[in-house]
Amino acid sequence: MIPGVINLQRLLQSTTGEIESVVVPELDNLLKLDSYLEPYQDEIRRRYYVFQNILKRLETEEQGIDNFTSAYKHFGIHVNPQTNEINIKEWAPGAKAMYIRGDFNNWKEREYPFTCDQWGVWRVTIPPLSDGSTTIKHGQAIKLLLEIGNGQLVDRLCPWSRYVQRAEKSSVYHGVFYNPPIDEIYQFKYSQPKKRDRLKIYEAHVGISSPKQEIATYENFRVNVIPRIVKQGYNTIQIMAIMEHPYYASFGYQVTSYFAASSRYGTPEELKALIDEAHKYGLAVLLDIVHSHSSTNVVDGLNMFDGTVGCFFHGSARGYHTLWDSRCFNYLEREVMRFLLSNIRYWLEEFKFDGFRFDGVSSMLYHSHGIAHSFSGSYDEYFGLAADTDSFNYLQLANYVCQTFFPDSIRIAEDVSGMPTLCRPIAEGGAGFDYRLAMAIPDVWIKLLKEKKDEDWHMGNITWALINRRASEKNIAYAESHDQSIVGDKTIAQWLLDEQIYSNMSIFDERTGVIDRGLAFHKMIRLLTYALGGEGWLNFEGNEFGHPEWLDFPRIGNNESYKHARRLFYLCDDENLRFKYLNAWDKAMNVLEEEYKWLSAQNTCISRRIEADKTIVFERGNQGLMFVFNFHGDKSFPDYRIGCGQSGKYKIVLNSDAKLFDGHDRINSEQVFCTENVCWDDRPYSFKIYAPTRTVCVLALVDNKK
């Protein structure tokens, strides 16, 4: 094991000629896709050069990437099954001494001293008791005791802990010796799904997934929520806030224990059962992984672990995220890489997650962390000094580990900057992600709902915002996510329905103008985003049926209330409430996509964006799928001619005005439309339809004339 920082200064003691000679296997393909990258190919080569050199060094110094990323199997606390000895190994280069204590020794301070090697790795072996059993018992509370530079003794949680709990009547966590008997270890029954190219993601938070004013459990999610997700037609679950975080209201983004599944929801075995249950129905399960930063919590987390401001993080100002009040990892420090890459391997291997949504990637990619960074779109921003290439190289390594050892794994980057190559293969010099989140889209809808009258909505601007993405890099589209659901903001349903979301959603109540408009636009906004905005779709739980409340986790400011930290699923189950119609629409969208597979279609043609009519017409896919939107507030259009690329007969396959979705039933869904040889909107064929106000109609080709 060789320590130290693998950094650019050490790796790039090379001439310009050496960089130019670096072979990026598929760089030519990348440059064909985007010729604007030509002037930056040396920087792309340099990044790839660093990545390759790291792999070579790990091969010679660490017995390869496989061994290196399996560190979770020997770092931390482990039992030798043959001898029942307990072996503990930790990295703390700034510590002067280390001990282990806990319930097993009545918290004596210096009973089990560790020894330290030249690399700052501390070890101890605790022999079994005289009866042959382990000295520390499953479930006992434990902590590391470190003597730091000033001679002070401090308690710390093991960074590799697999289970930590908050002590009763305490705000402080303790480590738990997690060594359940074999018959209590969950055995997976179902195989993991193969990698999909059309993700329909249900983003969910275990703790809020109940109507009760409490923290819901893994078991509740397994039994009560997964069947809903299956029924709605989603094929992927993205689970938030799993990695342990003492502050519940952080939404899981102030992580302290990276290998510990949050104990507030249950045990690791119960999380495994949840994932296995999802696999039973063919659902992929993604973990919302937070490697972009770490909590500043010293008592429970990695911060100041060995008594120094460095260790896992940059010791300078570079190691602090001022906006998030968190610490930033020193990604190319050898032991930090070992820790984080092993963390990736751990969740995929031990829990059988099917991939990750990487949080805060934009924050990682730039020295500014994206703070006050407008991202003009200039390639100089992406490939100049503003970019943090240590982080880029770490992300390459992370994706390399995933695709090498788990080729069916899915990786999504939360990136708002639009950095080119982020979602291109590593062999092209890219970072290797499969998708990035289309983070700009929700802002478009919220801005329109907050600031514009309906008549001022610009069809051209809306459609441009939805299609304005790199053609060679796939996006996950969403109209709103958890960000828009948090207190201080409003969901689309709240903006549209205002206070009437509480008073006029009964089918027996007056159907006011606000309700009529709100229901119509909620359906239209979601389908337009789904159909035009990306190569995948994401919905945050509750938004599918227009959840009437925002999210507000218990905190001092709300008297630690759980009233808004829950999801009222019973609203869409109530036959007397209009939430059921929005829920039905959500399912219908997923069913339609599953049949016509537009998310994987490459050929999208927007033929009509008429401001006066407030209409949008486009085709997507090879099956003649046509979308006709009329956003006009008071104009319906009989005999409205629309152009199409294929001749034949078309039928209506989805109609927001249908009674099933609480529409006015103005469209005859049984009508068949025959194309005419009339060129329209630069399309070779056309036909006429009825487009009522505030509706969307989807048509599909049923008979193709050759």
- As annotated, the active-site residues are 359, 414
How distant, in Å, are the alpha carbons of 196, 482, 609 from that of 518?
34, 20, 22
Q: Which residues contact 309 (CB under 8 A, 6 or more apart)?
A: 315, 319
DSSP-derived secondary structure for 556-585: GGGTT--TTSS--THHHH-TTBTHHHHHHH
Q: Determine the residue type at 706.
A: K
DSSP one-letter string for 163-182: -EEEPTT-S-EEEE-----G
Helix (H) or strand (E) holding 32: helix 27-33
- Report the half-sphere exposure of 57 (CA within 13 A, side-chain side): 20
Distance CA 340, CA 601 (A): 35
CA-nearest of 51, 44, 33 to 399 is: 51
Q: Return the amino acid letter for 177.
A: F
Taking alpha carbons only, the member of 130, 205, 262, 259 closest to residue 543 is 205
Q: If we measure between CA atoms, which residue out of 537, 529, 376 comes closest to residue 466?
A: 529
* CB neighbours of residue 441 within 10 Å: 26
Instruction: Show the beta-strand stretches assigned E in 343-454.
Output: 355-358, 410-413, 435-437
Encoded tokens for 129: 């008791």
Contact 495, 514 (CB under 8 A): no
CA dihedral of residues 353, 389, 64, 28 (deg, nearest 10): 90
Which DSSP symbol is given to 74? Answer: T
User: Within 13 Å of residue 566, how many CA atoms lie on the same side as its CB?
Assistant: 17
How distant, in Å, are the alpha carbons of 113, 176, 279, 507, 568 from that of 206?
39, 22, 17, 31, 14
Class of residue 454 by CB neighbours under 10 A (exposed 0-12, middle 13-18, buried 19+): middle
Q: Which amino acid is at 173?
A: Y
Going by C-alpha positions, the residue among 519, 485, 523 that lies closest to residue 500 is 519
Angle between helices 513-532 and 459-467 (to 10 degrees): 40
Q: How many CB atoms lie within 10 A of CB 412?
A: 28
